[in-house]
Amino acid sequence: MIKNFKQKKESPREKKVRSKSKILSDFISPYKEMLSWLNSFTVSFLKRDASSSISTSLPMESLLAVLDNLAPEKIERKVRDKAGPFFYKGNEIGILLTHGFCSTAQEMQELGLLLHNEKGYTIFGVLLAGHGTSPADLAQTDMVDWYKSLKEGYDFLKQYCEKTVLVGHSMGGTLSLLLAGNEEVEGIVTLCTPIKVEYFMQDFLFLISDLLKYFPRRKEEIELMEKNSLLNYRVSALKAVEHLLDLMEIAREELVKVSAPIFTITAGKDERVPIYNAQKIHQLVSSKIKEDYFSADSHHTILYGPEKHEISNKISHFISSLFKK
Amino acid sequence: MKKEIEEQKTVEKEENGSIVFEKESKKNNKDFIQERTFWDRIPKYKWWVTPLNILIVCIFLIIIDLATLPNTAFLHIDWAWWPIGGLIFAYLVSFIIFKRPEIAWIIGPILMVGTSILLLALDLVFPPNDGFIRLDWALIPIAALLTFGVLIPIITKFGRKKEKPIDKFRKALAEMKDQEMNE
């Protein structure tokens, strides 16, 4: 290998070519420098780093996302304040709470606190990859990353508890079902969990997501987030939506492996997940104990709806019924 | 798509008798060690340099046009509209492609269709117009532009083979199990 680094003697022809190219490069260099601005398209005013003071204010996220559709932003990866995972140490029964798409662990905290205070369960609220940071961070992750986050949470909880129950809202429920199919769990509770949806133009999402990176969430949803001080993203990263649809496809194939008791909760006014999903889950799983609860007046954000206390009680009742001797 | 490897730093905090985690993602240092590419060697300028220079060139062109006769066209500018339009158009297109290379597959075909329409118009405007569908010379370049610049990029974009999500998931599961076994 050292041989390659030995200097070779230059032939007269090579010398001539080198001197010619030097003259040419000396002649071009001032013009090259002068014209190089043609290749520079730096628009720092569009970038997230230049407007960091604005980006910290959440209602501006939709506007920034529209700008980001024109020029990609700098990816913010720091977890937002209060959005991170939480852990309440209790008895040998562990509850693993998983939030939904574009949401944070904060969404499940109230339920976790209630289960911990009432029954003394050990609670771990997981924060999925790409969530609680920025929509651009979410766009970089996929269903495998989200599953790995949940698995890490499960492994963590296993250090403290012998028995584990999974509770997941929306996409968190889909991930919990996948985990239940591959790991040992005592029971699963799914809230408004999708395994099959039909969104407008979903088959062409791979083309649309190239042109449009983010899509603002509906006004009612944003209002609900503001009302409950939720740290959810105000926009959906379309690349991540593509992976969410892939996750549902995986779930449909893997659900047969689930044999733990299952409790599904459906919202009557759910605008995101059609109510037939709970029925489909019941058809596909191999569990012997299957229960369902229909909350007629609730929307997709079921844990912040009018029947939230009743739903929390139902979940608590189902979990305690699993451990009755 | 190249995924950035990240390292997560977890800090445990005691709050009201329970543990709250504070996660801070940190990019792996390896990501920062990158080879300098051709584009890295080009000096970087503020965002307003290119538009300002284009504006100066446009003013220069207008002055030349106004200084020469006949000055009978719209706003007394006879021919400068064309290079000005071309410059702005080229800047906008390059801006989009540089900033969002993933949408080059749609910007490219739009450009090619535009160029084809221009060639078609030029050929039809100038006689003799006695060839196939009244085109004299534009047929071959238009066919080439539409085939290589429009059809092929769109077909390849639509026809890209994607790994089945279930296969991807099972592969990841197997990797995770292997990792656990090794640990």
Q: Which among A250, A50, A214 has a CA at the least distance from the CA of A138?
A: A214
pLDDT above 60: residue A82: yes
pLDDT above 90: residue A156: yes
Confidence of residue A41 (pLDDT cuts 50, 70, 90): very low
| pLDDT tens digits for range A44-81 | 333 333 333 334 444 455 555 555 555 555 677 888 88
Beta carbons of A42 and B45 less than 8 Å apart: yes
Nearest-angstrom CA–CA distance, A156 and B116: 62
Residue of B nearest to A128 (CA): B23
Q: Give the residue from A31, A34, A38 with the most B CB atoms within 10 Å of its CB, the best one to mutate.
A: A38
Nearest-angstrom CA–CA distance, A186 and B21: 26
Q: Does A138 touch chain B (CB under 8 A)?
A: no
Q: Give the residue from B4, B5, B13, B23 with the most A CB atoms within 10 Å of its CB, the best one to mutate.
A: B23
Per-residue pLDDT, A2? 38
Beta carbons of A40 and B43 less than 8 Å apart: yes
Beta carbons of B50 and A38 less than 8 Å apart: yes
Nearest-angstrom CA–CA distance, B183 and B181: 5
Residue A110 or A208, more confident: A110
What residues of chain B have any CB closer than 8 angstroms to a CB in chain A? 1, 3-4, 6, 18-25, 27, 39, 42-47, 49-50, 53, 94-95, 98-100, 102-103, 105-106, 157-158, 162, 165-166, 168-169, 172-173, 176
CB of B4 closer than 8 Å to CB of A139: no
Average pLDDT of the residues in A72-94: 84
Q: Which value does ipTM take for this structure?
A: 0.73
User: Residue A135: CA atoms inside 13 Å, Cβ hemisphere, count?
Assistant: 28
Beta carbons of B169 and A148 less than 8 Å apart: no
For the whole prediction, is pTM greater than 0.90? Answer: no
DSSP A50-102: GGHHHHTSGGGHHHHHHHHHHSPPPPP-BPPTT-S-EEE--SSEEEEEE--TT
B19: which chain A residues are within 8 Å (Cβ-Cβ)? 86-89
Token pair of B6 as six digits: 């990240």
Nearest to B42 among A39, A86, A127 (CB): A39
| pLDDT tens digits for range B69-107 | 887 877 787 888 888 888 888 888 777 777 777 777 788
B99: which chain A residues are within 8 Å (Cβ-Cβ)? 41, 43, 70-72
Smallest CA–CA distance, residue B68 to chain A, in Å, is: 27
Q: Does A159 touch chain B (CB under 8 A)?
A: no
Nearest-angstrom CA–CA distance, B106 and B150: 9
Nearest-angstrom CA–CA distance, A225 and A172: 18
Q: In A162-231, which residue ranges form alpha helices assigned H by DSSP? A: 171-182, 205-211, 219-227
Domain ranges of chain B: 47-182
Smallest CA–CA distance, residue B102 to chain A, in Å, is: 6
Residue of B nearest to A143 (CA): B169
Strand partners, A187: A165
For residue B146, the tally of other CB atoms under 10 A from its CB is: 16
| pLDDT tens digits for range B161-177 | 788 999 999 999 999 99
Q: Does A120 touch chain B (CB under 8 A)?
A: no
Q: What is the residue whose two structure tokens read 């041989």? A: A3
A20-24, A178-182, A201-205, B34-38 — which one is most confidently predicted on average?
A: A178-182
pLDDT above 80: residue B152: yes
CB contacts < 8 A, A to B, total 106
Nearest to A127 among B23, B27, B157 (CB): B23
Q: Give the residue from B10, B16, B47, B102 with the most A CB atoms within 10 Å of its CB, the best one to mutate.
A: B47
Beta carbons of A182 and B173 less than 8 Å apart: yes
Residue A27 or B60, more confident: B60
Q: Which among A36, A52, A254, A218 has a CA at the least distance from the CA of A134?
A: A52
Q: Which among A322, A249, A234, A87 has a CA at the least distance from the CA of B162?
A: A249
Smallest CA–CA distance, residue B16 to chain A, in Å, is: 10
pLDDT above 90: residue A125: yes
Q: Which among A128, A136, A137, A133 has a CA at the least distance from the CA of A169?
A: A128
Beta carbons of B21 and A84 less than 8 Å apart: yes
Q: In B76-182, which residue ranges form alpha helices assigned H by DSSP? A: 81-99, 104-125, 139-144, 152-158, 165-182
Per-residue pLDDT, A220? 80
Nearest-angstrom CA–CA distance, A144 and A247: 9
A50: which chain B residues are within 8 Å (Cβ-Cβ)? none
Range from A39-43, A266-270, B26-30 carrying the lowest mean pLDDT: A39-43
